[in-house]
Amino acid sequence: MSRSAHPAGPRHADVMSEGHYTAPADDLNALDEKVWSSTVTRDEHGALTVGGIEVSRLAEEFGTPAYFLDEADFRARCRAWSDAFGPGADVFYAGKAFLSRAVVRWLKEEGLNLDVCSGGELTTALDAGMPAERIAFHGNNKTVEEIERAVGAGVGRIVLDSFQEIVRVAHTARRLGRRQPVQIRVTVGVEAHTHEFIATAHEDQKFGIALAGGQAAEAVRRALTLDGLELIGIHSHIGSQIFDMAGFEVSARRVVQLLAEVRDEHGVELPEIDLGGGLGIAYTSEDDPREPHEIAKSLGDIVTRECEAAGLATPRISVEPGRAIVGPTAFTLYEVGTIKPLEGLRTYVSVDGGMSDNIRTALYDAEYSVTLASRTSDAEPMLVRVVGKHCESGDIVVKDAFLPSDLAPGDLIAVPATGAYCRSMASNYNHALRPPVVAVRDGAARVIVRRETEEDLLRLDVG
């Protein structure tokens, strides 16, 4: 399913699509490097290790379920993105995928910028020392208070999402005696999902200002007249988990057309375009993501070509990858609790987490893979569904996968590629305690987001 359309909106287990699974891999113990972070391997006893530390030791020290984040891999991905785009472009990590103060420090050290979309993300970024000018502030309904904080902090750009916001940001900036750099987020009539994109005639979504009907041109007109704003460019984000560059191509072409219209009407060449995030990663061996250098070349070529055709100087490009940086860097480690074989159908393997630490399977019908982590096994493969401990039949972590048939309670299993949109979308459903994020690097592991405790639950519940 990770190859098909990323469904919009919630799904209930009762309407989940039919099982989708291929034959078991030849060797269930093998680790496909596409879905695992770079330091994950098996040691001489067959146990999974990350950053040189064996998972049983990690489970003993930090408990399960827990997310283990491979810091070296995270940093390497940051570098790969910034090297691929080079000094003439800007990479903004999308903090919504996963944000913590440690992550902010790594981004800062690796020279990346940061996209935040709430007051909470902004606070985390600033508290961890990200220079405000390297922060972009997003969101379709920023509160006036958030706008004040962002402008007051001196963020490098605010991405304007609506006509009301043009006025709100201009007003706040004037009041604070600033000229705020802004981009306008446009909806280009392209919706991209994984391997497909759909060019729609209308703009039926809450984000951005439509290019259609001259809306975006009108937004530019207004932004250019307000002296609290410095319009630096146009922004477009077309979707999630995208492999097909064709959607970006259409988006870039339409954004460049708008730049040409702006030049013709106002005599101004806007210096930047931001093509958003949304680049896909491998959740299973069936996914074939593109490398950052291919993406950079492809986007660079499209923009250069379109600008040449329109007689424009090539603007500075920025991108906002979230999933593509953090997604593959982490796995979730679970302990197997109960095992329920259903003859001729599948075996349900219950783990000590579930939809509270990974809602993506229930919400988007997302696909994941899983491996036996605490040991290897030569037992026959069995078809499993990895489920959580929540009071809901849709509480599925991995819908269809194969694990060795000698799997037993107490075994540790690991689900790769859970770095993005898992901890950041985690919930307390059934008063589950949200798992910790543990960073592992060069034989050392440290908690960067601690596990919630029952005291945390009671502290919020004021009685």
CB nearer to ligand LLP: give 241 or 332. Answer: 241
- Give the span between the Cα atoms of 126 and 152, in whole angstroms: 12
Count of C-beta atoms within a 10 Å radius of residue 129: 10
Is position 321 an interface residue for ligand LLP (rule: CB under 6 A)? Answer: yes
Per-residue binder mask for ligand LLP (CB under 6 A), 7-36, x = binder? ------------------------------
Residue 240, phi then psi, degrees to nearest 5: -130, 150
Per-residue binder mask for ligand LLP (CB under 6 A), 182-221, x = binder? ----------------------------------------
Per-residue binder mask for ligand LLP (CB under 6 A), 406-435, x = binder? --------------xx--------------
Is position 243 an interface residue for ligand LLP (rule: CB under 6 A)? Answer: no
Say if residues 69 and 77 touch (Cβ distance below 8 Å): no
Per-residue binder mask for ligand LLP (CB under 6 A), 66-105, x = binder? ----------------------------x-xx--------
Q: Active site includes 391?
A: yes
> What is the total count of residues that contact ligand LLP (CB under 6 A)?
21
- Give the span between the Cα atoms of 317 and 325, in whole angstroms: 18
- What amino acid is encoded at 107 in this protein? L
Known binding-site residues for pyridoxal 5'-phosphate equal 278, 320-323, 421
Structure-token pair, residue 265: 């009407």
Beta bridge partners of 50: 53
The DSSP element (H or E) to which 310 belongs, if any, is helix 292-310
Is position 320 an interface residue for ligand LLP (rule: CB under 6 A)? Answer: yes
Is position 323 an interface residue for ligand LLP (rule: CB under 6 A)? Answer: yes
- What amino acid is encoded at 193 in this protein? H
- Give the span between the Cα atoms of 199 and 167, in whole angstroms: 30
Residue 306's Cβ-count burial label (10 Å; 0-12, 13-18, 19+) is buried
Cα torsion 140, 270, 221, 161 to 10°: value is 0
Is position 142 an interface residue for ligand LLP (rule: CB under 6 A)? Answer: no
Which of 240, 284, 358, 361 touches ligand LLP (CB under 6 A)?
A: 240
In angstroms, what is the minimal distance from the CB of 49 to ligand LLP?
27
Residue 237, phi then psi, degrees to nearest 5: -130, 125
Q: Which stretch binds ligand LLP (CB under 6 A): 70-78, 233-241, 336-344, 345-353?
A: 233-241
Q: For residue 238, give the nearest of 276, 195, 295, 285 by alpha carbon.
A: 276
Count of C-beta atoms within a 10 Å radius of residue 161: 25
Which of 156, 277, 328, 416 touches ligand LLP (CB under 6 A)?
A: 277
Q: Which stretch binds ligand LLP (CB under 6 A): 16-24, 70-78, 235-243, 310-318?
A: 235-243
Is position 292 an interface residue for ligand LLP (rule: CB under 6 A)? Answer: no
Catalytic residue list = 391
Q: Which residues bind ligand LLP (CB under 6 A)?
A: 94, 96-97, 115, 138, 237, 240-241, 276-279, 320-324, 360, 364, 420-421
